[in-house]
Amino acid sequence: MTSAVAKDTRFRLDDREAMHLASSFGTPLYVVDEGHFRNRIRAYRQAFAAAYPNSEISFASKANSTLALIAIAASEGCSIDVASEGELRAAIAAGVGPGQCHLHGNNKSEAELTVAIKLGIGHIVVDHFGEIELIQNITSALSLPCPRLVLRLAPGVDPITHAKISTGQADTKFGFNITDGSAERATSRCLELGLNLYGYHCHVGSQLLDPEAQRAGGELIAALAVKVRDELGFAAQYLNIGGGLGVKYTEEDSPMGIEEYNQLVVSAVVAALSGTGLSPKLGQEPGRSLVAESGVTLYRVGVVKTVPAKSIGKRTYVTVDGGLSDNPRPALYGSRYTVLPVGKEATEPSHTVTVSGKHCETDKLFGDIQLPESTQTGDLVQVLCTGAYNASMANNYNRYPRPASALRRLDGTFTEIQRRDTWEEMFSRESVPEGLI
């Protein structure tokens, strides 16, 4: 498949900005560029609308649920995709109305569903048969109208991506399988109960550099919509074709351009619906592809150490002041990133190093990358494309405070949008019963 490869438009700090931020807010530090994020949303919305005017973009807040970023996404016309009560409450705290939110989750609790229904959630993405019954029981007990329901479908396609972020195959915990008839049975049950069934949803995976699986997924849920209309009389008003477009983590990554990607996926859906009389609203829920390239992480170098290595003779470790607690993705998925030195000349000699973290694990962050031979304690490095799944996955392993986040405003100034954990906050949930010491 030929494609128009997206240009490298990843946000990066200049040396002066990086040094100022490290001095002002400390390191590790997440930094997001407001203008870059807004422009990315606008480009995605425009490309989708050009391919299919009756369309909606939802920001998958799991990618980065920092309140300021949710507020930016909403201000740019996105609804907000939430995958828990916590993410729903984050959206509300950011000023987003519950009616603008879509609730996901493969194992929503009765409490989560009750809160969402009481608040007036925009729609619920239903994942299993028990959830259908649970929603019916909750709405009946509360004497509240059923919110719009969207059935999540597993179309049975295997995307080319890491196994841990692949979700559209038949063997998955998510949704109703199309291939075994579960999707049609779920539709029938919703209709029997008189629930407010709105349409279907499909998400096949994340970081898709080959969009064929997404195209196939859209085609399959559209075909399912036609089938249930003909057999059950239900005309879907909404089809969500998911997210998943890949981003440029390294120079080797060549994601498809936004315009071509939207044309490719939408054309598959339109072809499957052609001549059927169905004209549903189409939704997408990008997260990573909207915010990842808008963010960087700043680290300060600590220990630089060269040690014997059997396979290559010797290895140089450049240890930074972060690691698993601010970016677990390399350990989880083998994720790779572009790492740039701060305050170094491009002509300086470089060598191959492994950037590691400071935790009590191997904690390899970025293996076999090039950094200047002059890299030493106190230097700064910036890691590109960390706007997604870094702040969201941050944790307190080894009792390290989670990093602060700074936002580069449209006028070029920086403001803190998430402060670093304090020690008091870290221990505030805990107590030491009397008699232990």
211's CB contacts (< 8 A; 6+ apart) are 244, 245, 256, 261, 264, 265
Supply 259's token pair. Answer: 């315009």
Strand duo 197-202 + 29-33: pairing: unpaired
Q: Which of 78, 101, 202, 360 is catalytic?
A: 360
What region does 145 belong to: left with phi over 0, alpha with psi -120 to 50, or beta? beta
Supply 80's token pair. Answer: 């907000």
User: Which residues pair with residue 125 across a beta bridge?
Assistant: 150
What is the rounded distance in angstroms from the CA atom of residue 112 to the CA atom of residue 110?
6
* DSSP 3-state of 58: strand
Q: Which alpha helices (DSSP H) does 82-173 contain, by range? A: 85-93, 110-119, 129-142
Residue given tokens 């600590």 in the structure block: 302
CA distance readout (Å), 322 to 119, 212, 358, 397:
38, 36, 6, 11
Amino acid, res. 141: A
CA 375 to chain centre: 33
What is the rounded distance in angstroms from the CA atom of residue 138 to the CA atom of residue 135?
5
Amino acid, res. 100: Q
Is 360 among the catalytic positions? yes
Reference 187, options 223, 233, 222; nearest CA is 233
Residues with a known catalytic role:
360
